[in-house]
Amino acid sequence: MHLATLHLAPMLAAEKSKVPFYVAGGALVVWALVVSLGLGLRRPEFPGGQAGERTVIAITVVLVLAAASTAVITAGGSTKAEASPAPGAAPSGSATPSGSATQLKLVANPAGQLNYDTRQLRAKAGAVTITMTNMAPVPHNVTLAQGTAVLGATPTFQGGTRTLTLSLKPGSYTFYCSVPGHRQAGMEGTLTVS
């Protein structure tokens, strides 16, 4: 169920509403209170046999699945998908000068593996924009650091693109996904600014 929900998430509307999650979560809370305080404590014979027990379990399972599914579906921001690059466009990970700014592209593995499409990025000193695409069934971000100092990050998102623009001096920087466990699994690389 969880995997199916992850695959359906990118197909949702452009702006994700949190209302379904609040409704499902609220219904689960109300159900838990009714079952425990309203019925469980006041009626010693509750749930009244095997049929009642199965009914309570079935309703609880449905409400838990609804709350979990809507939490996954409504997580993150918008799902604006980036158009496919035009023929002859710069490949991901390469720099494209745009005025005085350097435009870089970074893509999370669309199959859900914990890696980017490149481990090396290069840019000229000055304004650097990293456009990250994540069409994977797992939320990711791109965080840029120099040494232990985090310089900036995109929000963690799923299904679409986000950009990070920073003014960078010549040097070596580390880009990585700050979702717990993702960097340790290999989702990182080096940005060299000259």
DSSP annotation string for 67-108: HHHHHHHH-SS--PPPPPPPTTPPPTT--EEETTEEEEEEEB
Q: How many CB atoms lie within 10 A of CB 93?
A: 17
Q: Is residue 86 part of a domain?
A: no
Average pLDDT score over residue span 83-95: 42
Q: Is residue 153 part of a domain?
A: yes
The pLDDT tens digits for 135-188 are 999 999 999 999 999 999 999 999 999 999 999 999 999 999 999 999 999 999
Q: pLDDT band for position 20 (50/70/90)? A: confident
Residue 174 and residue 114 in one domain:
yes
> Which residue did the predictor score with more confidence, 4 or 154?
154
Q: What is the residue range of 66's domain? A: 17-74
Residue 100 and residue 154 in one domain:
yes
Q: Note the pTM of the prediction, 2 decimals.
A: 0.52
Q: 19-33 and 50-74 helices cross at what angle (nearest 10)? A: 150
Q: Is residue 5 part of a domain?
A: no
Residue 126 and residue 67 in one domain:
no
| Total number of domains in the chain | 2
Residue 131 and residue 184 in one domain:
yes
Q: Is residue 137 part of a domain?
A: yes
The pLDDT tens digits for 96-118 are 454 568 999 999 999 989 999 99
Residue 43 and residue 105 in one domain:
no
